[in-house]
Amino acid sequence: MSDERLRRVRDRVRHFPDFPVPGVLFRDISPLLKDPAAFRTLIDLLEDHLRASFPKIDFIAGLDSRGFLIGPPLAQRLGIGFVLIRKKGKLPGPTESVSYALEYGKAELEIQSDAVEPGQKVVIVDDLLATGGTMRAACELIKRLQAEVLECLVIIELKLLKGAEKLNSIPFYSLLQYD
């Protein structure tokens, strides 16, 4: 992977101390999305990684909502479909849902019951991995539909929060890591 390409992406991540609460350093991808050359570089890097890692992928599954920003262009580049994993109550028709714990409370994710078929190979994408609860819930949904999670893929990993550990044996890849 080119250090120059990775630097171009990293330079477009903005940091906001004490957001949304004191003590949190928020990693903002908005500047990355605003810069077409940097965003193209991001998708290039993710595409290169997936093509080198997996000979066959059936779908990219994106997490609500920032996974919806990187998943579709990545799926298009790979010539495959994109499926939605959304917050509860946002998808029509029959769905599968899973509850998971948040730092303060619970949340639910859903996927349409016919989004993927048994045996299909899926990569789950999101912008950031923090504590890993949302990504783990997304993996559970894909497994309930009897599809295979090839990898969980994010732009940013907050390593101190050890979210990748919650994914157990599921392969995980992050483009940028922060302590």
Catalytic (active site) residue 47: no
> What's the CA gap between 15 and 23, in Å, rounded?
13
> What's the CA gap between 21 and 41, in Å, rounded?
31
Asked if 54 and 135 count as a contact pair (C-beta separation under 8 A), the reply is: no
Pick the catalytic residue: 66, 96, 140, 148? Answer: 66
What does the block give as tokens for 93? 């028709």
| Cis geometry, peptide bond prior to residue 20 (ω within 30 degrees of 0) | yes
Catalytic (active site) residue 14: no
> What's the CA gap between 141 and 134, in Å, rounded?
11
Asked if 129 and 154 count as a contact pair (C-beta separation under 8 A), the reply is: yes
Tell me which residues are annotated as active site. 66, 103
